[in-house]
Structure 1
Amino acid sequence: MATVRIDQKPQQSDSAVWTLVVVSVATFMLMLDLTVVNVALPDIRNAFDSSFSALQWILDAYALGLAAVLLAAGSLADRIGRKKVFDAGLLIFVLASLACGLAQNDLTLIIARFVQGLGGAVLFAVGPALLGHEFRGKARGMAFGVFGAVAGLAIGFGPLIGGGLADSVGWRWIFLINVPLTIAALVIGFLKMRESRNEFTPPVDWPGMIAFSAGLFFLVLGFMRGQADGWTSVRIIGCFVAAVLLLAGFTFLQISRPSHAMFDLKLFRNDTFNGLFVVTALCALSVMPALFLLISYLQNQLGHAPFASGLRLLPLTLMLFVAAAVGGSLVAKLPPAVLVGGSQLFIAAGLAAVLLVDTGSGWTALIPAFILIGIGMGMFSPGRAAFSIAVTTPDKAGMASGVNETAQQAGLAIGIAAIGAFFQNRVGNSFTNAESARTALGDKVSEVSDAIAAGGGAHVPEPIRAAANTAFVSGLHQAMILASVIAAISGVVAFLTLRKEDLNEAALATPGIPPEADDVTRPLRLPGQVDSQVRTNR
């Protein structure tokens, strides 16, 4: 028989801090592995005599696995237990990281990277739901501020950490470093984290999970490989056709089997849910490809080593960390449109500030851009994570978080493909129109332009190096203008669609209401209800 007790003073769960630690460590590792591998590719190529295509797959396989199962992982966690699914993700991630570090050929590394991405997807989808279960009000803002700052630090410090490890103990340690950290997270999570799941658990929607994951797999694969394989090739068209058919089948399953559905279609009636989904996708589409291009500029055009490039990214990293901490404290105070929309305008301004760079600039010309981008990314991360689960009830937090993370990863994949292709086209157009390049290279001018876009401008012969540098900077400017416009559109979408009344007020404003223990999830207080704490003891 359950007894009910009303406490006058809210208390914060002792497990909350440990949950934040474990989720933060997991988030740092999985975001780090998005960027850390870039700096180790030359060493991997030398170790395995890998082709250019194999090196692309080493990068793509992780992002592909990360994108494919985010929604499925979040929905499954709501049903069978968030801690249980999160721990399974940690186990998959650590085993795959070990396999990456011990790989003896590039095929093994590619497969292990894909599996590592699957584990990372589980962590990324379920982590915000775990935090949302443990924290409320100002404490929730703080928790998501830390969450966003950790993710940003991993992105910013990726080249620095990867370069340091590759230079000192070898490229394998960029993967092996995950092993002790993940084991520690597993032990702490097992001992300190609490379980949470739906009180009324619907059956697991296996057909829906398979259809959606497979559909998203083919969609992301098509965008990732379109530039390399040809957008009109049979393989790429086949990927997009398969994606459309599978996602249409998934939609049919959700409509025809509502009692089993892994995704609540009613969420599409919430303007804030729809707006945040679009903003998250557009933000990833604009800023993440831009960061990859800026890192390429530092390393390949200015000639800085990976570790030195990471040091030069510190203005962005530090501003991101500070802005995420401040943004977390503002989650419950500012309207979501102001916090999220403002963050996108900072990013748009930062991307536009890259136009200050010219062919004779040093790295310091990027400092204004780094500061503005860091502020925008820092503001966005905690708000996005908090609002993505506040659009629904706690029992569906994993699903809502998975949907939002899916938007981010899909936007990332599409952005790298689309903006990368646009950048390559603009570099090629500028270089092939240069008279010195056409005279020196003749029929090989297009081939060399592709190498310049890929970062090989520093290695071209001296007579055409100036044309190569001009082409790279020109392409960088035009790509940043495109990314800035996308970020500005994202800000407009946020201002037009995000509304505080669409959010669960108690999730953001109630100071420190602790969630229920074990498998009982209490609905959050709606506006107008009495602000009291109910604890169920068994």
Structure 2
Amino acid sequence: MRKWLPLVAICTGTFMLLVDVTIVNVALPDMAVDLGTSFGQLQWVVDVYALGLAALVLGAGSLADLYGRRRAYVVGLVLFALASLACGLAPNAELLIVARAVQGVGGAAMLATTIALINTSYEGRDRGTAFGVWGAVVGAAAALGPILGGALTELSWRWIFFVNLPISVFAVAVTLAAVQESRQPHAPAPDVPGIALFTLGAGGIVFGLVRAAADGWGALVAWGPLAAGLVVLAGWVLVERGRRAPMLDVSLFGNRSFTGIMLGALLLNAAAFSASLYTSLWLQSVLGLSPLQGGLVFIPLSVCSFVVAALAGRSLQTMAPRWVLGGGLTLVGVASLLLALVDADSTWRVLVPGLAVLGIGVGVANPTLASAALATVPRERSGMASGAVNTARQLGFALGVAVLGSVFTAQATAALRDGGAPDAAGTAAALTAGQAGQLVGAAPAADRATLADLLGTAYASGLRDVYLVCAAAGIAGGLLVLWLVRAAAPSGQQRATAEPEAATSR
């Protein structure tokens, strides 16, 4: 039994950091009421964590190779725990957002080292078993986030962060007791300029998109950071092309299969998960469900994704990636079309068929992403490809949440204006911040029923457009993968060594 303690430590941290990508969604209405947040602040609570993971996972892997992977993993756990404590104690939205950013830094350190630690902790058949268990944990984490978040928010939204403290202490103790230190001799120094430029560029784009939802696309605070972010990313590409040891070898994008898989990873998370923020707000602030009830609505997604990945994952690995990823993304698009059937008279039941199909699509596509990316690059770039997949996934989620904010706000404002609301923009801002109940409660008693109907109509209208954009992203992603990806399925030997390669050549 002792030989599996390293896997317990690694899977504990992995589950915790990936659950925290989606666990906050169900708690957002309670956060909005307690802290008096704006819609933009709610977006940042979700986005800044994913952005931290996306921007820093490649750089964190380089630091771990140089200074020790177990050390980096433990530092990540400790930083994650301290940031979780700060999140739980945050007296206002600003400090909560800062603490979530620090959480993302700790999560990146953990995510960057998990594969390497499994590789050095196990050999032969045990290694294959360990990677199988770890893969199941990864698949379950994001899907279970809303359910666990709903249960904990029944106590208080702060408990979605406080629960990380004992889990982190346990993971640190087991890691120090059971995991051996490892590092890569002669590992190159981290690409600090590349990390800094990528973080600034991606952060500028996300900031501009979030501000566009709040202030409109005509505002300088929206398009200014967006344009600056694009310029910085262009500079990042130039810098990476000239470095001997870049955080990401941009020449890999000359391989159309690699490009297609990165686009697929980005659009998969954008289409499949970024709408959950708006779904959770609708379930609780408009339909009046409790946090636990709102979380349980996502059970079809969780169950279907886990079952499909567990039962079909191995057989799907033997198929050409273009069909698996393209088919999974297309299913995600179809699921979003089903979800777009929501209207002002809908209950939570209207979401069940779409969430079930969404779970199937995610279960088909997710397990294949990493191995497909590894099959398209030289062996010495395997670690870089693995990190790039994680970056694309989290960046897709962050960009998706930000883009959908503009889509939702524009449509909700239009519906409120058509319904005769005197301050359509201000009412839409309050509605998107989860304040439907407060808006109705503040209205004269004779007007409350009419206002509640108008708010329900406006929210359903905005939510429908959100799902339609997700449908377009999923279907477009499927078509791009089918067009671009030409890599064959990895051979048995490639599949057996893919993750170990990723661990030692980052």
TM-score, normalised with respect to structure 2:
0.85
Identify the residue that residue 238 of structure 2 maps to in structure 1.
Answer: 252
1:304 aligns with 2:283: no
Matched with 2:394 is 409
| Alpha-carbon distance, 1:120 to partner | 1.3
Could you tell me how far 1:484 is from its partner in structure 2? Answer: 1.0
- Counterpart of 1:85? 72
Deviations 1:138-159 (A, max 9, x none): 9888766654543454334333
Map of 2:168 onto structure 1: 182
* Change in 2 beyond 3 A, CA 1:309/1:522: closer
Matches within 5 A, 1:432-511: 432-433=417-418, 437-438=419-420, 441=421, 443-457=422-436, 460=440, 461-501=448-488, 506-508=493-495, 510=496
Q: Measure how far apart 1:117 and its partner are.
A: 1.2
Does residue 53 of structure 2 align to residue 70 of structure 1? no
Question: Is the aligned partner of 1:269 residue 2:267?
Answer: no
C-alpha separation between the residues in 2 aligned to 1:144 and 1:273?
Answer: 23
Taking the aligned partners of 2:433 and 2:52, their CA distance within structure 1 comes to 24
Q: What secondary structure is seen at the aligned counterpart in 2 of 1:69? A: helix
| Alpha-carbon distance in structure 2 between the residues aligned to 1:248 and 1:100 | 34
Give the Cα–Cα distance (whole angstroms) in 2 for the partners of residues 418 and 39 of structure 1: 20
Q: Say yes or no: does 1:419 pair with 2:404.
A: yes
The separation in 1 between residues aligned to 2:499 and 2:433, in whole angstroms, is: 51
Q: 1:52 to 1:421 in 2, by over 3 A?
A: closer
1:225 matched residue in structure 2: 211
SS at match of 2:23: helix
Alignment correspondent of 2:9: 22
Preserved CA contact (<8 Å) 1:282 1:490 = yes
Picking from 365, 370, 375, the partner of 1:385 is 370
The answer to whether the Cα contact below 8 Å between 2:297 and 2:348 also exists between their aligned partners in 1 is yes
Instruction: Give the Å deviation of 1:472.
Output: 2.7
Distance 1:275 1:226 in 2: 28
In 2, are the aligned partners of 1:141 and 1:331 still within 8 Å (CA)? no
Asked if 1 retains the 8 angstrom alpha-carbon contact of 2:151 and 2:295, the reply is no
Q: Distance in 1 between matches of 2:165 and 2:349?
A: 36
In the alignment, structure 1 residue 173 sits paired with structure 2 residue 150: no
Structure 2 equivalent of residue 288 of structure 1: 273
Aligned-residue offset at 1:333:
1.7
Spell out, residue by residue over 1:166-211, the C-alpha distance to the aligned partner (whole angstroms, 9 max, x if none). Answer: 333x333221211121222223333433555545523333333323
Change (3 A) 1:322 1:389: same
Q: Please point out which of 146, 151, 156 is paired with 1:164.
A: 151
Note the residue ranges of structure 1 that are not aligned, 5 or more in a row: 1-13, 524-538
Distance in 1, matches of 2:409 and 2:392, equals 25
Deviation at 1:277, TM superposition (A): 0.5
Q: Report the CA distance shift for 1:382/1:271 in structure 2 as closer, same or farther (over 3 A).
A: same
CA RMSD of aligned residues (A): 3.5
Q: 1:178 corresponds to which letter in structure 2? A: N
Note if 1:212 corresponds to 2:191.
no
Contact 1:37 1:59 in 2 (8 A): yes
Task: Tell me, in whole angstroms, the C-alpha distance in 2 between the residues paired with 1:382 and 1:122.
Answer: 22
CA deviations over 1:296-348 (Å, ceiling 9, x no partner): 33223322111011122212111111112124323532221222122112211
Query: What one-letter code is carried by the residue in structure 2 that aligns with 1:29?
Result: M
> CA 1:369–1:191 in 2, change beyond 3 Å: closer, same or farther?
same
Cα 1:128–1:302 shift into 2, 3 Å: farther
Give the 3-state SS of the residue equivalent to 1:344 in structure 2: helix
1:351 aligns with 2:336: yes
Are 1:50 and 1:106, in contact at CA under 8 Å, matched by a contact in 2? yes
- Distance in 2 between residues matched to 1:67 and 1:128, nearest whole Å: 17
Matching residue of 1:372: 357
Question: How many percent identity over aligned positions?
Answer: 36
Q: Is the 8 A contact 2:382 2:505 kept in 1?
A: no
Which has the larger Rg?
1
Equivalence for 2:226: 240
- 1:114 to partner: Cα distance: 1.3
Residues 144, 426 of structure 1: alpha-carbon distance in 2 compared, 3 angstrom cutoff: farther
- The offset of 1:522, in angstroms, is 9.4
Moved more, 266-275 or 56-65: 56-65
Report the counterpart of residue 3 of structure 1 in structure 2.
Answer: none
Q: In structure 2, what is the equivalent of residue 533 of structure 1? A: none
Q: Is contact 1:298–1:304 with CA below 8 Å preserved after alignment?
A: yes
Contact 2:206–2:398 (Cα < 8 Å) also in 1: yes
Question: Separation in 1 of the partners of 2:498 and 2:50?
Answer: 36
Cα distance in 1 for residues equivalent to 2:90 and 2:372: 40
Distance in structure 2 (CA, Å) of the matches to 1:201 and 1:65: 23
Unaligned runs of 5+ in 2: 441-447
